[in-house]
Each structure stands twice: as C-alpha cells, then as structure tokens.
Amino acid sequence: MAKLAPSDLAQVLSKLPKQTSENIIVGFENSDDAGVFRLDEERALVQTVDFFTPIVDDPEIYGQVAAINSLNDVYAMGGTPITALSIVCYPQKGDWEILGKILLGGQKAMNAENVVVLGGHSVDDQEIKFGYSVTGIVDINKVMPNSGSQPGDVLVLTKRIGTGVISTGIKFGKADQRSVDSLLENLTTSARAASQAMQEVGANGCTDVTGFGLLGHAFEMAKASKVTFKLKAKDIPLLPGVLDLIEQKMLTRGDKNNRIYVGETIRFSDRVSKQTQSALFDPQTAGGLLISIPESKVEMLRSKLDESWIIGEVDGYGEHLIEVS
C-alpha cells in the first residue's frame, strides 16, 4: 500500500483552518513526525499513528516492524512512548492464526520498549493493513521538532536506506539473501537508543526517515528550519544490493511521488548517478533518525551510537533547500 502522494496531501492540509489552542506545541503545519500537546508546565503528550500493508512474509515480523515504525515517530520528537492502540484491517474470512501472529509480533515489540498495548480497532478489509497509534510523554524543554536546524550544524543519519527497493525486490524474487537479512535487521531496530543519545548530547532538530524518503524528509526539515541542507551522496549509507536492484527497476510508486513533492527545491551535481538519486527518494519503513546537531557535539553523539553516518551539513538558506553533491 503506497502512501498518498505527499504533494497532494500537503495541498489538502494547507486548506484546513489553523487551530489556536495555546497548548499545541507541535501541530501538523511543519509535517513533524508526531504532534505535541502541553499537559502542564513541564510535560507534554506526544501522539502519532501509522499503519501499512505487509512488507515481509513472516506475520510476526510484520507486526514487529509495524510497532517499531510507529514508535520511532515518538522517539524522533524526543519523547518516551508509553501506550499504544492497534489498527487492524483484515479479511473476515482470513486465517485467524496469521492475524494472531501479527498481533503477537507487534505486542512483543511494544512491550520490549516498555510500551503497553491498551486495545485497538479492527475492520473487515480484503487488504491486510496493520499499525499503531502511539502516545508518549516528553519534557517540554526537550521537544525535538524538525524546525530546529541551524547553519553550521552537521547532519547525522542513524540507519542505512533502501528498504522500499529491497521490499520490492523480495516481491519479485530479485533480492539476494544478504539484502533480505540486512533489510530485516534494519526494519526491526528501534530508534530508542538514538533518541536518548541526541537528547543527552543536545541536538537542534530531528526527523525520522520514512515514507517520503531521505530527500522528502530532509526537504521538510530544511523548509521548516529555513536553511539549506548540503548532502554528500557518497557518504549516505545504502543497504546491500540497493543500487543493483534499482538497475533492475525495483522501484516503488513512492519514488515518483517523492520527486514531485520535493520539486525544484533540490539540486543534484552531475556526479550523482540516476540510481543513487532513486535511492535517496526511496520510501522507507522504520527508517533511521536524521539528526541536526552542532559540529562540536557530533563525536559525542556518535560515540553513543552503534552505527551512524555524517551525511552533510546545514548552511544558510540559499537558492535550493537541498544540494546533493
């Protein structure tokens, strides 16, 4: 199931009336990963929702990935998830054992992150879809919006990209075992450790890289922060086999939609191949965090993470929101 095209969705959201509650800390205006609502002088609620069709064959792993994907939105905001509600679309005449495994995988993943699943909602649907609405808590002074990037910051990515391409390759029997194994490890790794590290060190801004691809989410972050992101293509980590699969046209509809969304706000140097460009537009599931952090704090952040990559820097606003060299 592809997401709605981000450019179309943005047009719809822009026509909604502005909400004026004084307790809204983060709404949907800047396309942040989750909403933040003030509870009192110290704490706020973080809320998000996400669900999608199966991207792996194993139902328990599918449930686990759906949980991680939803939790990461809260982690990207600097929050601590505490409760979840499941969203289930499943055929009335489907195999109930499979649904049980999906729910089990999701609940195990939630419980492993100290999150309680309180219930959920289900509908009869011939196309399986599963995910969660997650609620968390965040210190008001530690909310991590996507609008905080400052000129001089360094951009750090915490996961390799290419999940959409490899998932498509699996569907058509083109992905080798190394790509499949790397994909599953990537999909089932939570952003909790990365979130805690960026809060401890003191990052300026963050987003998690999901359906709009690395460049779509970088675009939202740069636009909200009124800066230009300068990315180095050779430093952006890809999952194994991604470029080979792109050569074989293993692309999703999101590739086209994400290009339209970013539009003319991006400039590629001649050195960036068409295949690499597709990888950077590839829609991700349970992707890593893209963190904007002062240069003086980069090494401290990376020392707290098992894996991370410096992929670029933040400059003052220029002719383009994103420059890829």
Q: Concatenate the DSSP letters of all residues of 270-310 into one string.
A: TTS-HHHHHHHH---SS--EEEEEEGGGHHHHHHT-SS-EE
The predicted-structure confidence for 257-302, as pLDDT tens digits, reads as follows: 999 999 999 999 999 999 999 999 999 999 999 999 999 999 999 9
Q: Which domains does the chain have, with CATH numbers?
A: 20-142 (3.30.1330.10), 153-324 (3.90.650.10)
- Contact between 135 and 45 (Cβ < 8 Å): yes
The predicted-structure confidence for 116-168, as pLDDT tens digits, reads as follows: 999 999 999 999 999 999 999 999 999 998 899 999 999 999 999 999 999 99
**β-sheet with 129-139: strand ranges across:** 24-26, 35-38, 43-52, 129-139, 80-90, 116-124
